[in-house]
Structure 1
Amino acid sequence: MRYISTRGGSPSVSFFDTLLTGLAPDGGLYVPEGWPSLSSEQIKAAATAPYAETAAAVLRLFAGDELSDADAIGLTEEAYGGQWANPGITPLQQVGPGEYILELFHGPSLAFKDVAMQLLAGLYAHALEARNARLSIVCATSGDTGGAAVEALKGVDRIDLFVLMPKGRVSDVQRRFMTASGGDNVHALSIDGDFDTAQALVKAMFADQAFAREVALSPVNSINWARILAQSVYYVVTASALAVAGPVNFTVPSGNFGDALAGYVAKKLGAPIGRIMIATNANDGIARAFETGTYARTKASIATLSPAMDISVASNFERIIHEAVGRDGAVLKQLYDGFAQSGSLDLPGPAHDMLKAHFDAFGVDDQETRWALADCYEQTGEVLCPHTAVGWRARFGGDEVTGPRVLLATAHPAKFPETVDSVLGIMPALPRHCADLYERAEAVVDLPADLSAVKAYIRQNIGTAA
């Protein structure tokens, strides 16, 4: 399997090159040269097979000859082993007739991003050992990516991890997963700005190709294709389990569009998926793009009750637009060159139609988020995190659908206890494995939103782990 840039200006690369480099030299994102597919037998088997088995099948499709069957199952069994609080990894809860909640928060950092990060850790270790190499991994986070990366990569040989988080824009629990890990190879950097500021710094570091080579830079944000393929697995598993009632429809709380894109990838793999509802908070650029055909960024993201979705520019939207324009890199580059200059792009008519054929989108404000927290609890007894509550409100916002409907529960409510308590009068407790989180010592470095300052810190702290 080879990978190409969405912008068409870089040579194709291998799966492991995609994993280790993340961003293409022309500024685009890597996507598969073509779409593989699971067999009908594999799709059916996913309903009852161990999660690691389905994950290995998907991984082998995207890794191709670079990964043997034995290596693939070894990596996935390690990724989805005893560190998960629920042996089902992503258990499904029925909350009404044809209506389900998919719990994605049973991993080490209590967020859906653990599903991908636990696999990425093994993939990185495998590739770095084979190449006798070392990496500086950087991560911009709106809250959950950073914690998941830290839990997966702390103490991993050959890796230095630098997590850029927006100062004062993450919950206390989210912050402590990044600052209180005790990992000598982990550097939690509090950036004076919002998530978009942190993400822009990461992209600028990759754009400086000399610096990227000097420190062996690699990303774990969802610009890394391996994140997307790993997340597609729970769509395959869930759709296979429920498909007897018709194509399965998903509602996805979305900030950077990676999780919604993973649903589309699962659909391309052959999973019986109907429509995908993208649920945004007040940072609703994607929802407006689906409504109007114009994708535009705001000057700054809006702080909301669902901070992991406080993103004004969704990186992975580029990948789905690439699909929508017929995988034409030249057209995509022209659109994004204009976006860089003006802050907006107009989707060509056929591309807009293609997106609407697969997706719906709906924006939810904080008042509606509070309502949804209360409504779900009253209707089902389930306590949601505020991001999942955005999805609860949005799930009826699109076209009428037939078949089961699945809401992705993206984080444990204990990551946002103040919000949950203010609405429900319930203080959700941390699970046993991290109950001592507030007792752990924190280590964090405050840095300005200055590229030279961040690059200097990374240079000075490569290889400093004991």
Structure 2
Amino acid sequence: MNFISTRGNAAGIGFVDTFLMGLAEDGGLMIPAELPVIDQDKMKQWERLSYQELTLEIFQLFTGDEIPREELKQLIDESYATFRSPVVTPLRKIRDDLHILELFHGPTFAFKDVALQFLGNLYSYVSQRQNKIINILGATSGDTGAAAIEGVRGKDGIRICILHPHEKVSKVQELQMTTVGNENVLNLAVKGNFDDCQRIIKELFADLEFKSRYHLRAINSINFVRILAQTVYYFYAYLQLVRQNPAAQISFSVPTGNFGNILSAFLAKRMGLPVHRLILATNENNILERFVREGVYMPDEFRSTHSPSMDIQVASNFERYLYYLVGEDSQQVSAMMKQFQEDGKVVLSAGLLAKVQSDFQAYGVKNDECLRMIESYSREADYLLDPHTACGVAAYESCGDKNTVTVVLATAHPAKFDESIRLVGIAQEFPADIQRLFDKPQHQQLVDNDKAEIAAQLERFFGTR
């Protein structure tokens, strides 16, 4: 399969080169030149596959012959061997019309593990096959950093630097990143918010000389392989439910900040998954809700919330969605992104807004509503939600249809956000792996929100042999 840039100036690029490239050299994002479409007969054959077997089938549609099937199978099996659930992403039935898809059974207790354990192994595979040092650079609002570090810590031929917003992630998220003592890991705590971290990352990747000199690779969801890995659990959840009830109409409610998780759902639907509705759940940083409701994409005042991993204003995967929204017209995408850079906003025509509203419903969750969801579901359903999952449940309650089945994505274990859980008077017992973090020393550098200072840190770290 060939991959192209959303802005049209990169084309005919293979799977491995797309994986290594991350951000396209024209500033766009890499996407398949043509998405494969899976027919219903094929999906019927997939209903009884294990999660690992399903991942193999979906990835082979994109890798072609670049990675031999047996080697790809080994990468997948190794990636999910560390998950605490044998089915990787189990479904929990809460009531007839509501299921929770638990995506937090990986080593860092967050949905990012599903993609990043695989990406870590794939980077190691490519490094060994090409005999190259790989330097990974990423930004995190909390969970990506921990999952990415866990995926590559201590691996030969790989170094990783993660930027996170200082004092704007949960304590457990911070500890998961900064208690890793491996020499191939650097944590930079930036005096700013996640959008500041993400902006600097994009600027460094757009500096082609700097990117080339230090062989920078992306772990954020600007890397298409992360998006692809996340499509699998939508297929898996859907197939498990229709096997039980072939007539069921199935929707997904997706907590999202960077537009990556729900973009994976959108791509799964374009590939033939017959999803009924896609519900986009945001918090008080509700730029994406306003985009769906009003057709205006424009950052607003940053707000710290009880769901910090969604405290994002500028969604890095928004451009990929725009590409499909405007009929795969890369020139129009380039013009819209230029408008966004110059004016700070994108305003859709009435026709395009109608298309957006046929693709998504959206709901922005207030802080107090998030806490009410945690308290009420703990009391009434005996199920403890983390605050991001609580936003997904609130969106289901606002937008869901009782005559269909809605799957809410549980994006993290509640222990990762105990600060929010304690606000509703719930005392939880931490898993042993999380409890041990509090006794470990931390390793991080505090830096200003300054591209030059961060570049100097990277030069020292990635410049070592």
**Shorter-chain TM-score above 0.5:** yes
Cα shift readout 1:57-87 (whole Å, capped 9, x = no counterpart): 1111111221222122111111111x11111
CA contact (8 A) 2:172 2:434 kept: no
Alignment partners' CA distance in 2, 1:197 and 1:317? 17
CA drift at 1:14:
1.1
Q: TM-score, normalised by structure 1?
A: 0.96
Could you say which residue in structure 2 is the equivalent of 1:264? 266
Cα deviation code 1:156-185 (max 9, x no counterpart) = 221110000001100100001110022221
1:290–1:356: 8 Å Cα contact kept in structure 2? yes
Partner of 2:154: 155
Provide the secondary structure at the position in 2 that maps to 1:100: strand
Q: Tell me the secondary structure at the aligned position of residue 132 of structure 2.
A: coil
Q: Which deviates more, 372-381 or 393-402?
A: 393-402
Say which SS state the counterpart of residue 274 (structure 1) adopts.
Answer: coil
Q: CA deviation at 1:42?
A: 4.2
Aligned 1:67-466 pairs, distance under 5 A: 67-81=67-81, 83-243=82-242, 244-298=246-300, 300-398=301-399, 400=401, 402-423=403-424, 425-462=425-462, 464=464
Tell whether the 8 Å contact from 2:283 to 2:364 is kept in structure 1 after alignment: yes
- Give the Cα separation in 2 of the matches to 1:464 and 1:108: 29
Could you tell me whether the CA contact under 8 Å between 1:58 and 1:233 is conserved in 2?
yes
1:414 deviation in Å? 0.2
Partner of 2:60: 60
Give distance in 1, aligned partners of 2:344 and 2:215.
31
Aligned-residue RMSD, C-alpha: 1.5
Which sits farther off after the overlay, 30-39 or 198-207? 30-39
Distance between the aligned counterparts of 1:25 and 1:351, measured in 2? 28
> Deviations for 1:222-273, whole angstroms, at most 9, x for unmatched residues?
1100000000000000011112242310000000010001111211222231
SS class of match (2:398): coil
Instruction: Identify unmatched segments of 5+ residues in structure 1.
Output: none
Q: Hey, what does 2:13 align to over in structure 1? A: 13
Moved more, 328-337 or 355-364: 355-364
User: How far 1:50 sits from its partner (Å)?
Assistant: 1.5
- In structure 2, the residue corresponding to 1:407 is in which secondary structure? strand
For 1:311 and 1:445, the matched residues in 2 are separated by 23
CA deviations over 1:168-209 (Å, ceiling 9, x no partner): 100100001110022221101000100000000000101110
Supply the AA of the counterpart residue of 2:2: R
Contact 1:321/1:351 (CA < 8 Å) preserved in 2? no
Distance 1:356 1:429 in 2: 41
Change (3 A) 1:401 1:269: farther
Bigger Cα displacement from structure 2, 37-46 vs 365-374: 37-46
Between the aligned partners of 2:33 and 2:294, the Cα distance in structure 1 is 30
Q: How far is the alpha carbon of 1:418 from its aligned partner?
A: 2.0
Aligned residues: 462
1:27 paired to 2:65 = no
Rounded Cα–Cα distance in structure 2 between residues aligned with 1:352 and 1:402: 26
How far off is 1:41 after superposition? 4.5
Q: Please tell me the residue identity of whatever aligns with 2:251.
A: N
Q: Give the letter for the 1:250 counterpart.
A: F
Aligned residue type for 2:14: S
Residue type at the aligned position of 2:3? Y
Q: How far apart in 2 are the matches of 1:57 and 1:463?
A: 39
SS at 2:44's partner residue? helix
Q: Secondary structure at the match of 2:226?
A: helix
Identity of aligned residues (%): 38
Residue 101 of structure 2: SS of its match in structure 1? Answer: strand
Contact 1:373 1:386 in 2 (8 A): yes
- Displacement of 1:218: 1.0
CA deviation map 1:310-358 (0-9, x unaligned): 0001111111111010010000111110001111111233332222212
* Cα shift at 1:131: 1.5
Could you tell me which residue of structure 2 aligns to residue 2 of structure 1?
2
User: What do residues 379-424 of structure 1 show as CA deviations (whole Å, max 9, x unaligned)?
Assistant: 311001111111111113237474311000000000011210221x
Alpha-carbon distance in 2 for matches of 1:401, 1:16: 43
| Cα distance in 2 for residues equivalent to 1:74 and 1:351 | 43
For residues 459 and 14 of structure 2, the distance between their equivalents in structure 1, rounded to whole angstroms, comes to 28
- Measure the CA separation in 1 of the matches of 2:298 and 2:402: 28
Q: Partner of 1:414: helix, strand, or coil?
A: helix
Q: Does 1:47 align with 2:47?
A: yes
